[in-house]
Structure 1
Amino acid sequence: MVEAEAVREMRALAGRGWGAKRIARELGLARNTVRRYLRGGPGAEVQERPAARRLDETARAEAVALFDGTAEGNAVVVADLLAARGVEASVRTVQRAVAGRRREQRAADLATVRFETAPGRQMQIEFGERKVSIAGERVTVHFLAAVLSYSRRGFVKAFLHERQGEWLDGIASAFRHFGGVPAEVLGDNTRCLVAARNRDAQTVTFHPAYLAFCRDWDVQPRACQPYRARTKGKTESGVKYVKRSAIAGRQCESFAHLEAHLADWQLAADQRVHGTTHERPAERFERDERQALRPLPARPLPTHARRLQRRVANDALIDIDTVRYSVPHRLVREHVEALVTATEVRVYHGQDLVAVHARSQEPHARVVDPAHFEGLWRRTPVENVVPLAQPLAALGRSLDDYAAVIGGAA
């Protein structure tokens, strides 16, 4: 709605012979707006909001009640329900009527009470991803960030994928890095960890493999509220910190170079003064939290094992996570099974173990055992090879014969 003073100015300028386009440019209005008010004549200066666009106190209270109840926060539904009750109001009118209530709900949703945990009580985990230049190639790197909730000491590990195996491997690596196990692990609602969630009943069904992992490590799994990342805000901040500080726009010569950089970076990060605790995480950890963590299991526990079916290519290689591993060349075009762990790749043909390789994390690398190609190339028989040291002797002459000829000619 344009003020009456602006309408009078429009009519005055139009009386001087100005066109609608020039008036619109002068007053900063749309050209069609100027035309509409000029068509209205003197009556356009007196503007009154139609009764249908106003809600009295009773109708406004009714709209707010519907907004909180049946409409579930939807102003369009409120307008329809009011119309059914004989109250005519546009959606925009309803939106203005419930604007105050909407702001109250928004503030209530955003308001957060900081929750602090006791030493050794909780570790928060989260996965993030970032494009990283590795050996001149842009590679999507996934990384797990773990933070001890009390001391804010952090851990980060890079992967080429984000699957259940990587989640479990990263959590176990965090336990080993901290030298102990907390009472509980607070994670995301990713399908790698959570099989199902009932929001009405507030229940969570964790993935059986994740539950078995937690039983092995004697730790209690927990999941944050859906769409409420602030329930694990310490690690959410940690993921952003890794992206912006640890990785940023750095270029790495190899994946191993990236891993070494992250290891050095997290040690340096533990020495910074934290903005919330105003202490260095490493000092806070050593003073209060190290002794509160439970000891690591006496025996090492497997965390990452997958069985994959592969067909051997013509070059006697199989592909696993962009890395190619060799197998004996006699198995070309045969089907094999690969058992992939965090550190090793074992290849079976039927019941026979045919290849064992150290797991590589380098994108598009080749891991080759030369023994797998023995017998593939033909060897020249030894009796047909002319010794390089005496090539002329094979022709029935020697250098002495040529020297005698040259000497006689001289």
Structure 2
Amino acid sequence: MELRRLRAMHEAGMSISAIARETGMNWRTVKKYLQAPPAVATSRGSPRKGCIPQTVTEYAPLIDAWLRSDITLRGTVIHERLVDQYGFPGHYQRVKLYLQEARPRIATELGLGPADMQGLHRRFEVFPGAQAQVDWGDEGGILAHFGIPKVYSFHMVLSYSRDPFCCFTTSMDLSTFWDCHRRAFSHFGGVPKTIVYDRTKTVVRQHVAPGRAVPLHPEAIAFAGHYDFDVDVLAAYRPTGKGRVEHQVTIVREHVLAGRSFSSILELDAAFATWVPIRRARVHRTHGEVIGIRARRDHAALRPLPRQPYVVADRHLRFVGKDCLIAFEASLYSVPARRVRPRQLVEVRAGADSVSLHLLAADTSGSTLLAVHPRAKIRGSWVVDEAHWDGLPDGHTRAVTTTVPEPTATQAAAAGSGTLTDWLARIPAAQVTVSRRPLTVYESLASVTPIVPGASKEPVNSKDTA
């Protein structure tokens, strides 16, 4: 029991015996504590005499300097750096307690707002048709048992009504991303005035420092210009700026995917289409209206779709192999053998559902198109048109036998009797024509005295001749 309560009861008019009966204590004990002088509270900031000062006090100027450079620096990071770089022997709790006092003080020095405002954001509402938000969801290996290792969900939500759209893909590349936009516009029946994105590489060409204008991807500029909407890119690490679609990703997982099994992308899309009427019949907790009724006003305010869709193709350069195949995304696609050569460079234009192969320069017919194939859904696939291999050896003339064939009449005549003389006569050297001359011709050319038959073969002495 707190002894301070005894003094409060006595000051309220209770006698010592009454306090003893109330608390169950002896009346002498109650009298002892009531007659003792009240304790004087000491300041927590000044250590008592003889106590060892806290270890973190020595590092306080360093911690303050780090907080001045980044007021949001986490305590775990500060403790880790102190231990790693300065050999700090203290526990993390010492750093944590110091930060509770130091962080508000440093924030006041820097002229920042109160710490209580951290983590809060401004709520906003929009007019019908004014805004939509876009985000990706990673659904993992939901179709891995059918050979599809990864499945992604594309989400677009109209900000005014919270009317959702979702479709499932096996890729998040450029062409797939904008093809999902076309499907979403068709689902809503129009185009919102602004679409909010995070800093995905299919929208942002380069990341820049806070406060600077974000350079957009060329295809994002062209697509937005064709469909007449504005691109709004959020600041880094601001997921609350598109909280409507962030929440929608979780809702789809819980209401469409959880507890079910699927065998294809088409089944996933069909499951979402079946759930949409259920979602639209609900009353949204934020705006308090039925989503479907509010969505009618949202759809009516959307901009109309253009007559011609804008098709985005992701372009790459690839070499033609000796087998008339090119490799793209770990799959092989065929090209006509009569129009290419080995190691020739061709352009691959990858759409969401198809892959077209083009020459870098038009041929004699003025066309660059080599082939169009459906895009492979599984890595390692072969997408081949057998007509592209027409004219190439296929091995249909090859044959083997276990008997020695009889020589033809021509081969037998050429072989002759088979003697060595006949063989020597058939070699190429025997076909060379050789001229025949008497030996005197060569002797005269060499200035050598001809040998007369029957004459003496002894050499002539020069002295006898003299």
Partner of 2:161: 151
Alignment of 1:3-402 (within 5 A): 50=51, 52-53=53-54, 69=68, 72=71, 95-99=96-100, 102=103, 107-131=116-140, 132-134=142-144, 136-137=146-147, 139-248=149-258, 250-266=260-276, 268-286=278-296, 288-312=297-321, 314=323, 316-329=324-337, 333-335=342-344, 336-349=346-359, 351=362, 352-361=368-377, 364-374=380-390, 377=394
Secondary structure at the counterpart of residue 304 of structure 2: coil
Q: Quick one: which amino acid aligns to residue 111 of structure 1?
A: L
Change (3 A) 1:112 1:136: same
Greater strand percent: which structure? 1
Q: Quick one: which amino acid aligns to residue 311 of structure 1?
A: V
TM-superposed CA distance for 1:347, in Å, is: 1.9
Structure 1: distance between partners of 2:334 and 2:184 = 32
Structure 1: distance between partners of 2:284 and 2:378 = 34
TM-superposed CA distance for 1:183, in Å, is: 1.1
Partner of 1:37: none
Structure 1: distance between partners of 2:388 and 2:312 = 29
Structure 1: distance between partners of 2:263 and 2:91 = 62
8 Å contact from structure 2 (residues 318, 326) kept in 1: no
Structure 2: distance between partners of 1:157 and 1:328 = 35
| Residues 85-105 of structure 1: CA deviation (Å, up to 9, x unaligned) | xxxx99966642441675896
| Residues 367-402 of structure 1: CA deviation (Å, up to 9, x unaligned) | 44343344554669xxxxxxxxxxxxxxxxxxxxxx
Change (3 A) 1:134 1:258: farther
Change (3 A) 1:141 1:118: same
Partner of 2:31: none
TM-superposed CA distance for 1:189, in Å, is: 1.0
Structure 1: distance between partners of 2:94 and 2:153 = 48
TM-superposed CA distance for 1:48, in Å, is: 7.7
8 Å contact from structure 2 (residues 147, 378) kept in 1: no
Q: Quick one: which amino acid aligns to residue 96 of structure 1?
A: L
Secondary structure at the counterpart of residue 123 of structure 2: coil
- Bigger CA radius of gyration: 2
Secondary structure at the counterpart of residue 371 of structure 1: helix
8 Å contact from structure 1 (residues 134, 251) kept in 2: no
Structure 1: distance between partners of 2:123 and 2:51 = 48
Structure 2: distance between partners of 1:49 and 1:198 = 55
Secondary structure at the counterpart of residue 306 of structure 2: coil
8 Å contact from structure 2 (residues 64, 102) kept in 1: no
Change (3 A) 1:294 1:137: same
Secondary structure at the counterpart of residue 203 of structure 1: coil
Structure 2: distance between partners of 1:70 and 1:320 = 47
Change (3 A) 1:337 1:289: same
TM-superposed CA distance for 1:307, in Å, is: 3.6
Structure 2: distance between partners of 1:127 and 1:51 = 55
Secondary structure at the counterpart of residue 180 of structure 1: coil
Change (3 A) 1:241 1:101: farther
TM norm structure 2: 0.57
TM norm structure 1: 0.64
How many equivalent pairs are there? 320
Structure 2: distance between partners of 1:292 and 1:222 = 19
TM-superposed CA distance for 1:123, in Å, is: 0.7
8 Å contact from structure 2 (residues 190, 302) kept in 1: yes
8 Å contact from structure 1 (residues 254, 362) kept in 2: no
Structure 2: distance between partners of 1:168 and 1:115 = 27
Q: Quick one: which amino acid aligns to residue 300 of structure 1?
A: P
* Gap runs ≥5 in structure 2: 1-47, 83-89, 105-112, 363-367, 398-466
Q: Percent of pairs identical after alignment? A: 28
Secondary structure at the counterpart of residue 177 of structure 2: helix
Is 147-156 or 346-355 further displaced after alignment? Answer: 346-355
8 Å contact from structure 1 (residues 306, 341) kept in 2: no
Q: Quick one: which amino acid aligns to residue 221 of structure 1?
A: V
Secondary structure at the counterpart of residue 315 of structure 2: strand
Higher relative contact order (Cα pairs below 8 Å, separated by 6+ residues): 1
Change (3 A) 1:98 1:334: closer
Secondary structure at the counterpart of residue 206 of structure 1: coil
Is 329-338 or 198-207 further displaced after alignment? Answer: 329-338
Structure 2: distance between partners of 1:171 and 1:253 = 24
TM-superposed CA distance for 1:214, in Å, is: 1.5
Q: Quick one: which amino acid aligns to residue 166 of structure 2?
A: V
Structure 1: distance between partners of 2:68 and 2:375 = 57
TM-superposed CA distance for 1:302, in Å, is: 1.9
TM-superposed CA distance for 1:120, in Å, is: 0.7
8 Å contact from structure 2 (residues 347, 357) kept in 1: yes
TM-superposed CA distance for 1:209, in Å, is: 2.6
8 Å contact from structure 2 (residues 175, 350) kept in 1: no
8 Å contact from structure 2 (residues 131, 192) kept in 1: yes
| Residues 12-56 of structure 1: CA deviation (Å, up to 9, x unaligned) | xxxxxxxxxxxxxxxxxxxxxxxxxxxxxxxxxxx9883633999
8 Å contact from structure 1 (residues 273, 281) kept in 2: yes
| Residues 81-132 of structure 1: CA deviation (Å, up to 9, x unaligned) | xxxxxxxx99966642441675896542212332221111111111222222
TM-superposed CA distance for 1:155, in Å, is: 1.4
TM-superposed CA distance for 1:317, in Å, is: 4.1
